Amino acid sequence: MADSEFTRTAPVSGFPEWLPEVRMVELRWLDRIREKFESYGFAPIETPAAETLSALLKKGETSQEVYTLHRLQDDSGGEAKLGLHFDLTVPFARYVAQHLNDLTFPFKRYQIQKVWRGERPQEGRFREFTQCDIDVINPDHVPLHFDAEVLRIASEVLTELEIGQFVLRVNNRKVLEGFYRGLGVPDPVAVIRVMDKLDKLAAEQIERMLVDQLGLTDGQAKSCLRLAELRGGDAPSVLRAVRDLGVNDELLDEGLEELAYVLDALRDLPPGVVEADLSIARGLDYYTGTVYEGTFTEFPKYGSICSGGRYADLAGAFTRRSLPGVGVSIGLTRIFAKLLTEGRLPVGPKCPTQVLVVVPGQDTQAATAVAAVLRGRGINTEVFHQTAKLAKQLRYAIGKGIPYVWFPPFHDDAQHEVKALATEEQVPADPTVWLP
Amino acid sequence: MADSEFTRTAPVSGFPEWLPEVRMVELRWLDRIREKFESYGFAPIETPAAETLSALLKKGETSQEVYTLHRLQDDSGGEAKLGLHFDLTVPFARYVAQHLNDLTFPFKRYQIQKVWRGERPQEGRFREFTQCDIDVINPDHVPLHFDAEVLRIASEVLTELEIGQFVLRVNNRKVLEGFYRGLGVPDPVAVIRVMDKLDKLAAEQIERMLVDQLGLTDGQAKSCLRLAELRGGDAPSVLRAVRDLGVNDELLDEGLEELAYVLDALRDLPPGVVEADLSIARGLDYYTGTVYEGTFTEFPKYGSICSGGRYADLAGAFTRRSLPGVGVSIGLTRIFAKLLTEGRLPVGPKCPTQVLVVVPGQDTQAATAVAAVLRGRGINTEVFHQTAKLAKQLRYAIGKGIPYVWFPPFHDDAQHEVKALATEEQVPADPTVWLP
């Protein structure tokens, strides 16, 4: 394998792939996520990997990350240029605009797919990765009920996947915008954009930027930073702390009411899982109300593992119909790869087989028959693939991590036996009732 | 929507996407296929959408179909060129070569993924489509057992998906090559390539090509065509018919023995599902023994819905290790899209919700509580998202095809009731034991 002719079997950087035993765990994760989404009535959609480039770039912000597609021997010229989707929001917007008349609203959809970004790979950043998105959209108005529901679902998903301790931070853009406006700041949205850098820059740098670049007074800048320090899971305490900063504004009131609603609706969740964090801004102008951001408690520097929020219009680039919504996106590959790297993923056997039926002699008929019975009862079963010494057949089971070996009867009077390889215990068994 | 500004919401030709109610059916198909593959002990792998172009083109035959990837603003230059995989065989070969030391052999893998081909779309031919592949590979030797097993699995999958009548035709390249050699033909492989066109050209044209282009005598050409007419599910009859053509050759004997083994191992399947068809050639030199090809009985012109066979070396382009194998690929999108077009797909409700819990008044607490109980018991449950007139809540359930509506107690003495929308029957129910 050192031969240079074969070096191209190396993995492509940023495109992760797993051994079968790891892929089996990932598939179980995907199953659980899907089950959870469906348990709340979210319907599945899947969109093509490729969209027209013009659709992908309607928002215009991420052009450098897009992979475009070209045919190796393109002789047509006239076709629309295509690119791979870099998130699931743009394809969802295009999908909704296109199928508007065939959807029933409020439309609750989930979408679990690969996305591609031509970024430089680094820890936690991939060129191909799986996102798990849920969104609720409805023409003109989406009840606040869903702001709490999508966050509850994210919390339940992350808990069931046993990813370790995590925190889902929630805030509301109206609180920020209203607070800054109430302070008398000239351009509240510009302040949000600066405050969004708080996770990367020191508080003093932020303060200086607010004063020097945006013309805030020292007092205004300090108030902005004091707001960003507030957090906690108890709605009344958080609201009191904001009020204590002495700013009054209608939009602020509205935002605080919404924030309190979400916290209150989720107060039955385990303590610490969901908390208000008044520093969360989510820089994009896209979001207009509730915003979320989830992180590993243990690996705070690893960055966001899930995020989302409420937006005023999903598909403005594609249809005149106003479609507000709220959604959350779980970064499956980011989470999975981190736990794998940290040795926190309980990786099991190399194949899904539960029972290996050994072939005792030349005749495979008895083995094939019992395998069919077990399979028919939902037990994953292999028949050993040739006549071979028993020791070789057992070695195969051990090598693949198959937990049980089945011995069909050698002759008419003999009975079936099954051996658990973990305990070495071998007992008679009836294939029509036996359970692993 | 007639505005030209919005016309780019049209679907990209050749990239199919479905409404949620159709995607739900497709997901059930994918689940069943995966369950079937796993029930026989096949392990899942997933490879990246992209491979290096040099890996993709090692076989060199399909260069015009490959989509290459480019970053919209590429400033690096030095990176390996990437392309989307156009089948799952090349990525599997690269994967096996790369992870050779981490796999346990015989390696039985399944892989269910999208593939991309830059072809001109037409009925049954897509630019993005899902393939479901199983293969068994083993260094140096793969038991014939698996030639029968993978075909049995394909047959069971297609039966369980209820795709209508289908036939899986099986042949053996050794039979063809041995027969032509036994006839005294100078280049048997060239004859296979011509015979492979039998589904597109008339028998007379094939005969003329054999004589004019390959220099066969009229008698040799007629014998080739007579062999190609033979078919049937009963191994002894098929063998007798081949023998009656009077050709003797060692390789022919070996091929007939293998073909008889496969037919014999599958004789318990329903009649007509698997049959020998001596015209099946599968043109590529890749295949060396058993070959398969499946078609709809009802739509014979639609072409192959599943195919595969035995090969002498999977990964010769990537490793010196000899890895023979046998596998089959099911064309999920081809089958699914055809049944959808023909109106043969039983499409159900627009969402996975089984129960809608109505919100009787301002208080949502009772509704939320009963929803949690039902969900905890594995029943997909939505709570209506706002306070609204009962008629509106019922309309939502009917519009989405939700089969049951749950009425939580209005006051302390009242009891839970559930209504089946199909029958309009409303009865008292206990959320801890009720089943849909």
Q: What is the pLDDT along chain A (436 residues), one digit of tens a residue?
A: 334 344 445 667 899 999 999 999 999 999 999 999 999 999 999 999 999 998 898 876 555 689 999 987 665 655 678 999 999 999 999 999 999 999 999 999 999 999 999 888 888 899 999 999 999 999 999 999 999 999 999 999 999 999 999 999 999 999 999 999 999 998 998 999 999 999 889 999 999 999 999 999 999 999 999 999 999 999 999 999 999 999 999 999 999 999 999 999 999 999 999 999 999 988 667 899 999 999 999 998 899 999 999 999 998 888 888 999 999 999 999 999 999 999 999 999 999 999 999 998 877 888 999 999 999 999 999 999 998 999 999 999 999 999 999 999 877 778 999 999 999 999 999 999 999 9
Q: Per the domain annotation, does A435 fall within a domain?
A: no
Q: Do A145 and B82 lie within an 8 Å CB cutoff?
A: no
Q: Do A359 and A257 have their domain in common?
A: no
Residue with tokens 């996305």: A115
**Among B368, B374, B357, B381, which residue's Cα sits nearest to residue A268?**
B368
Output the domain CATH number for residue A375. 3.40.50.800
Long-range contacts from B283-287, C-beta under 8 angstroms, 24+ separation: B283/B192, B283/B193, B283/B196, B284/B61, B285/B189, B286/B311, B287/B173, B287/B311
Are B114 and B130 spatial neighbours (Cβ–Cβ below 8 Å)?
yes
Q: Per the domain annotation, does B402 fall within a domain?
A: yes
**Among B183, B156, B138, B174, which residue's Cα sits nearest to residue B261?**
B174
Q: Do A64 and A163 have their domain in common?
A: yes
Q: Do A301 and A362 have their domain in common?
A: no
Q: Do A414 and A270 have their domain in common?
A: no
**A341, A373, A404: which is the final residue of a domain?**
A341
Are B139 and B105 spatial neighbours (Cβ–Cβ below 8 Å)?
yes
Q: Per the domain annotation, does B302 fall within a domain?
A: no
Best residue of A67, A81, A142 to probe chain B, by most B CBs closer than 10 Å = A67
Domain limits for position A195: 12-341
What is residue A379's predicted lDDT score, i.e. its pLDDT?
98
B80-104: per-residue pLDDT in tens? 789 999 999 999 999 999 999 999 9
Structure tokens at B313: 């070396």
Mean local confidence (pLDDT), B65-70? 91
Q: Per the domain annotation, does A172 fall within a domain?
A: yes
Q: Do A400 and A266 have their domain in common?
A: no
Are A233 and A277 spatial neighbours (Cβ–Cβ below 8 Å)?
no
DSSP B60-92: -S-GGGPEEEEETT-----SPPEEE-SSSHHHH
H or E, element range at A37: helix A20-39
Residue type, A80: A
Output the domain CATH number for residue A54. 3.30.930.10
Residues of chain B with C-beta less than 8 angstroms from the C-beta of A6: 97, 318-320
H or E, element range at B180: helix B173-182
Q: Give the chain B residue nearest A32 (alpha carbons).
A: B378
Q: Please, is A265 exposed, middle or buried when counting C-beta atoms within 10 Å of its C-beta (0-12, 13-18, 19+)?
A: buried
What is residue A1's predicted lDDT score, i.e. its pLDDT?
36
b/e map of B7-31 (b: 16 or more CB within 10 Å)? ebbebbebbbbbebbbbbbbeebee
Helix or strand or coil: residue B1?
coil
| Cα A144–chain centre separation | 22
Q: Do A69 and B66 lie within an 8 Å CB cutoff?
A: no
Residues of chain A with C-beta less than 8 angstroms from the C-beta of B382: 40-41, 108
* Planar angle of CA A80, A314, A264, nearest 5 degrees: 150
What is residue B8's predicted lDDT score, i.e. its pLDDT?
47
Q: Do A336 and A360 have their domain in common?
A: no
Helix or strand or coil: residue A268?
coil
| Cα A306–chain centre separation | 6
b/e map of B313-322 (b: 16 or more CB within 10 Å)? bbbbbbbeee
Q: What is the count of structural domains for chain B?
A: 1
Q: Per the domain annotation, does B83 fall within a domain?
A: no
Q: Do B15 and A48 lie within an 8 Å CB cutoff?
A: yes
Q: Give the chain A residue nearest B386 (alpha carbons).
A: A143
Q: Do you know the residue count of chain B?
A: 436
Q: Do A251 and A143 have their domain in common?
A: yes
What is residue A6's predicted lDDT score, i.e. its pLDDT?
45
Q: Do A313 and A378 have their domain in common?
A: no
What is residue A74's predicted lDDT score, i.e. its pLDDT?
66
B281-333: per-residue pLDDT in tens? 886 678 999 999 999 999 988 999 999 999 999 888 888 889 999 999 999 99
Q: How far apart are CA A158 and CA B200, in angstroms?
A: 54
Q: Nearest CA of chain B to the CA of A207: how many Å?
A: 35
**A274, A308, A341: which is the final residue of a domain?**
A341
Whether B435 shows a pLDDT value over 70: the answer reads yes
What is residue B79's predicted lDDT score, i.e. its pLDDT?
64
Q: Do A118 and A208 have their domain in common?
A: yes
**Among B190, B197, B240, which residue's Cα sits nearest to residue B220?**
B190
Best residue of B24, B385, B404, B406 to probe chain A, by most A CBs closer than 10 Å = B385
Best residue of B3, B21, B32, B46 to probe chain A, by most A CBs closer than 10 Å = B46
What is residue A64's predicted lDDT score, i.e. its pLDDT?
60
Q: Per the domain annotation, does B434 fall within a domain?
A: no
Q: Per the domain annotation, does B225 fall within a domain?
A: no
What letter would DSSP give residue B122? Answer: B
**A298, A315, A341: which is the final residue of a domain?**
A341
Instruction: Tell me the count of A-B CB pairs closer than 8 A.
Output: 261
Helical axes A203-212 vs A218-228, angle rounded to 10°: 140
Structure tokens at B92: 């599997």
Q: Per the domain annotation, does A434 fall within a domain?
A: no
